[in-house]
């Protein structure tokens, strides 16, 4: 592939991944996510169909085991709707999982069609990640609107997801700076890119992202024989990003929540100047390093000495830390005990600012305990994918809100039980085996000779560590629901899994990739490709159904506000037909019936919502509010709200409803209880 075509392909991939990240944002908007998931499914379907038609025919299906395991995980996610305590949430999670499965399949297919394209994929992912972090940093240079949090989190509105995006791109930035085949400008650009990534990780204060970035850099330095080049590329960005981060984290605008726009604008100019100065200095350093190092080879003796010095420095740092801890008043065992207490004690909030990066205290211990309690309810199957936010409510000890358990293993165990955990472990094992084969670290007996360190192998290792960084970060912060970093990691992981083994040293070179249209498709291939397209279309249609129901529900409420009760009733019924897993159409239908003076029918509709969604405290609160406001039955409302308190003892809405009902009881005796009609007649209404 020519340099121009490779650059265009990298730019196109970066544009697609960047658009997914910036458009999907935090992944919480169902309407926004539906369009993106449909685009991913259809685009991936076209890519897989093309691979089936035109890829090499006589090669093993590399990556098929990992793809099958991810498909099994997506299937378990979808099937869990049959036992889910919140099937509407599970339906959204199933749509997300199948969109990710399609993206992973497209990456595997891309590796099969263009097996040597790893040096094209790495810049694409790096470009997308740098675009996201540049946008995030730009929101602090040009602040607008009000932000509740202080930690850097845009465009996801979630700092840990932004930290994951930066962490997974650190090694690709190192690859860009150390490779021999790149131009002077591209290698120089690796310096400011890495500086922006490091600065973003520090400003998000995401300890999981920092740990993931450090781990994959260590693995890269240990595995790749370009350690000195790597240090030259790594050290300047770290040294320049650290003081900028220290300055920012000393300001309330970056550390204190609920800061007014004026406070953020007061430091925006200085931060922008520091950011510009850092980028220019790093670009200049990159140009100097690229110019000086171009065409020069360091002697083996000097490389050994410098490598030994770097290894000694790396070993001395932890030794000094252990020595200082051992000589402290508490000693080594006492300090370790304190750190364990910090992890498990959820009553102590972590410090703000730079001190947070060195602290181990957090609220994760509480979420993990809640996940363990949910797992004990249904250890085999869990409560359904995406249901942790509701399932945890009976076990929380305060009014904290969290939809996720902040950890891959604990989240999976709570949502999908041992069945889901088995699928995740199988997927992890299958992908690690495929990655070891694709990067030349296959440890199986009878393996081919280990390949040399070509630019392609360096790129494959960078892609593997990109996916590994996302996986490590997911162990501390569950970011699977955010499409931006998830899509980048899935593309990297899928390409590495589908690449297959590199030729060993002295082996014959691989055949060139089969060009599209270069072979006449066989009938079986045509049938398989058609099946993929049909499956992609059906999957896209299924992904659209929750959004179609939500839109019909909105039309029902709009027609209700306009006084068109007949049209409102039709829209509510249509929303119910499209998506019977959500209680929202029942709420809309009850509102329409109440507006038509059919209070008993509306009451039965809300009762049905409780029957179908007994674990959702919102259904009980809606019913209790209706009993109080429409029927003026405070005693019954108090009985109903008890059901909500059993599901969520710290419900604010439940407390408010209880106060109102208690005040109504104090005002006088309740009126007679109306006798509802039989439920069969209400069904006909």
Residue 318: both structure tokens together: 């932890």
> Coil, strand or helix: which one is 372?
helix
Q: According to the model, what pLDDT value does residue 528 have?
A: 87
Distance, CA of 411 to CA of 372 (rounded, Å): 9
pLDDT for residue 148 is more than 90? no
**DSSP string for 237-304:** HHHHHHHHHHHHTTSHHHHSSS--HHHHHHHHHHHHHHHHHHHHHHHHHHHHHHHHHTT----HHHHH
The mean of the pLDDT values for the chain is 84
Q: According to the model, what pLDDT value does residue 682 have?
A: 35
Range from 43-57, 227-241, 331-345 carrying the lowest mean pLDDT: 331-345
Distance, CA of 320 to CA of 326 (rounded, Å): 10
Distance, CA of 346 to CA of 337 (rounded, Å): 15
Distance, CA of 503 to CA of 507 (rounded, Å): 6
| Predicted TM-score (pTM) of this structure | 0.87
Q: Which residue has the tokens 């595995």?
A: 223
pLDDT tens-digit series, residues 162-202: 999 999 999 999 999 998 777 788 899 999 999 999 999 99
Distance, CA of 49 to CA of 64 (rounded, Å): 15
Q: According to the model, what pLDDT value does residue 403 have?
A: 84
pLDDT for residue 280 is more than 90? yes
Mean pLDDT of 570-576: 94
**DSSP string for 387-426:** -HHHHTGGG-SSS---SS-SSHHHHHHHHHHHHHHHHHHH
pLDDT for residue 516 is more than 50? no
| DSSP 8-state assignment for residue 361 | -
Compute the C-alpha angle 668/591/577, nearest 5°: 145
Q: What are the residue ranges of helices labelled H in 500-564?
A: 523-562
Range from 76-90, 115-129, 467-481 carrying the lowest mean pLDDT: 467-481
Mean pLDDT of 128-135: 96
- Give CA torsion, residues 175, 179, 181, 182, to 10 deg: 60
Residue 171: both structure tokens together: 């090694």
Q: According to the model, what pLDDT value does residue 445 have?
A: 61
Q: According to the model, what pLDDT value does residue 671 have?
A: 43
> Coil, strand or helix: which one is 437?
helix
Q: According to the model, what pLDDT value does residue 180 have?
A: 78
Mean pLDDT of 284-300: 74
Distance, CA of 170 to CA of 353 (rounded, Å): 22
Residue 145: both structure tokens together: 């609107």
Mean pLDDT of 598-622: 94
**DSSP string for 10-47:** HHHHHHHHHHHHHHHTTS--HHHHHHHHHHHHHHHHHH
Mean pLDDT of 345-365: 63
Residues listed for the chain: 685
Distance, CA of 466 to CA of 479 (rounded, Å): 15
Architecture of domain 545-684: Alpha Horseshoe (1.25)
Confidence band of 225 (pLDDT split at 50, 70, 90): confident
User: Phi and psi of 484, rounded to 5°?
Assistant: -55, -70
- Count CA atoms closer than 13 A to 388's CA, side-chain side: 29
Mean pLDDT of 240-268: 88
Q: Which residue has the tokens 């209680």?
A: 583
Q: According to the model, what pLDDT value does residue 317 have?
A: 53
Distance, CA of 558 to CA of 569 (rounded, Å): 11
Distance, CA of 62 to CA of 499 (rounded, Å): 7
Most distant CA pair in the chain: distance in Å?
97
pLDDT for residue 328 is more than 60? no
Residue 524: both structure tokens together: 């079986």
Mean pLDDT of 528-553: 91
Q: Which residue has the tokens 């829209």?
A: 571
Q: According to the model, what pLDDT value does residue 131 have?
A: 96
Cβ atoms 535, 516 nearer than 8 A: no
pLDDT tens-digit series, residues 434-462: 999 989 887 666 566 677 788 899 999 99
Q: According to the model, what pLDDT value does residue 506 have?
A: 42
Compute the C-alpha angle 464/104/539, nearest 5°: 165
Bond preceding residue 155 cis, omega within 30 of 0: yes
Distance, CA of 154 to CA of 146 (rounded, Å): 12
Residue 569: both structure tokens together: 């009733």
- Enumerate the CATH 1.25.40.10 domain ranges in the chain, comma separated: 545-684
Residue 25: both structure tokens together: 């944002």
Confidence band of 674 (pLDDT split at 50, 70, 90): very low
Confidence band of 294 (pLDDT split at 50, 70, 90): low
Sign of CA dihedral 73, 78, 83, 89: positive
Q: According to the model, what pLDDT value does residue 261 have?
A: 84
Confidence band of 504 (pLDDT split at 50, 70, 90): low
């Amino acid at each position: 592939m020519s340099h121009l075509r490779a650059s265009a392909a990298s730019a196109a991939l970066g544009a697609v991944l960047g658009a997914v990240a910036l458009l999907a944002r935090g992944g919480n908007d169902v309407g926004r996510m539906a369009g993106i998931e449909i685009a991913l499914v259809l685009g991936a379907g076209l890519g897989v169909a093309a691979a089936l038609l035109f890829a090499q025919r006589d090669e093993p299906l590399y990556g098929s085991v990992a793809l099958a395991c991810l498909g099994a995980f997506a299937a378990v996610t979808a099937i869990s709707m049959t036992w889910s305590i919140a099937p509407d949430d599970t339906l959204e999670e199933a749509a997300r999982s199948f969109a990710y499965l399609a993206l992973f399949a497209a990456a595997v297919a891309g590796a099969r069609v263009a097996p040597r394209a790893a040096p094209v994929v790495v810049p694409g992912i790096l470009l997308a990640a740098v675009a996201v972090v540049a946008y995030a940093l730009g929101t602090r240079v040009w602040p607008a609107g009000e932000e509740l949090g202080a930690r850097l989190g845009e465009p996801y509105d979630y700092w840990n997801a932004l930290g994951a995006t930066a962490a997974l791109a650190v090694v690709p930035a190192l690859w860009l700076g150390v490779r021999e085949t790149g131009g002077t400008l591209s290698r120089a650009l690796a310096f400011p890119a890495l500086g922006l990534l490091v600065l973003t990780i520090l400003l998000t204060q995401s300890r999981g992202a920092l740990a993931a970035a450090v781990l994959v850099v260590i693995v890269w330095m240990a595995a790749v024989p370009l350690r000195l080049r790597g240090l030259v590329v790594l050290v300047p960005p770290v040294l320049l990003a650290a003081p900028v981060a220290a300055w920012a984290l000393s300001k309330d605008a970056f550390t204190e929540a609920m800061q007014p726009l004026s406070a953020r604008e007061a430091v925006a100019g200085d931060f922008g100047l520091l950011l510009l100065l850092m980028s220019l200095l790093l670009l200049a350093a990159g140009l100097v390093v690229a110019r000086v190092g171009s065409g020069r080879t360091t002697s083996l003796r000097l490389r050994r000495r410098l490598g030994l010095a770097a290894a000694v420095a790396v070993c001395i740092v932890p030794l000094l830390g252990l020595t200082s801890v051992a000589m402290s008043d508490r000693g080594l065992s006492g300090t370790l005990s304190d750190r364990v207490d910090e992890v498990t004690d959820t009553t102590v909030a972590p410090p703000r600012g730079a001190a947070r990066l060195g602290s181990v205290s957090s609220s994760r211990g509480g979420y993990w305990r809640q996940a363990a309690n949910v797992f004990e309810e249904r250890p085999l199957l869990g409560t359904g994918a995406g249901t942790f936010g509701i399932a945890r409510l009976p076990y929380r000890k305060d009014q904290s809100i969290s939809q996720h358990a902040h950890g891959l293993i604990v989240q999976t165990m709570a949502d999908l039980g041992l069945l889901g955990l088995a699928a995740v472990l199988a997927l992890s094992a299958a992908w690690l085996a495929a990655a070891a084969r694709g990067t030349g670290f296959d440890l199986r007996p009878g393996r081919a000779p280990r390949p040399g360190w070509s630019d392609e192998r360096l790129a494959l290792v960078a892609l593997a560590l990109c996916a590994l960084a996302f996986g490590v970060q997911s162990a501390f912060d569950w970011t699977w629901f955010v499409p931006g970093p998830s899509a980048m990691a899935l593309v990297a992981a899928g390409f590495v899994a589908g690449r297959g083994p590199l030729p060993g040293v002295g082996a014959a070179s691989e055949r060139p990739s089969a060009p599209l249209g270069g072979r006449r498709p066989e009938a079986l291939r045509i049938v398989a490709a058609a099946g993929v397209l049909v499956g992609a279309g059906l999957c896209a249609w299924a992904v659209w159904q929750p959004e179609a129901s939500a839109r019909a529900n909105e039309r029902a409420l709009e027609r209700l506000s306009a006084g068109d009760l007949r049209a409102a009733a039709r829209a509510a019924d249509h929303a119910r037909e499209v998506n019977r897993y959500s209680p929202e159409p029942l709420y809309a239908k009850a509102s329409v019936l109440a507006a038509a003076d059919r209070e008993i029918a509306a009451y039965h509709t809300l009762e049905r919502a409780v029957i179908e969604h007994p674990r959702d405290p919102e259904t009980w609160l809606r019913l209790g509010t209706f009993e109080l406001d429409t029927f003026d039955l405070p005693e019954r409302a108090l009985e109903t709200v008890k059901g909500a308190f059993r599901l969520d003892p710290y419900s604010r809405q439940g407390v408010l409803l209880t106060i109102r009902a208690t005040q109504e009881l104090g005002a006088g005796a309740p009126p007679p209880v109306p006798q509802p009609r039989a439920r069969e007649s209400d069904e006909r209404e």
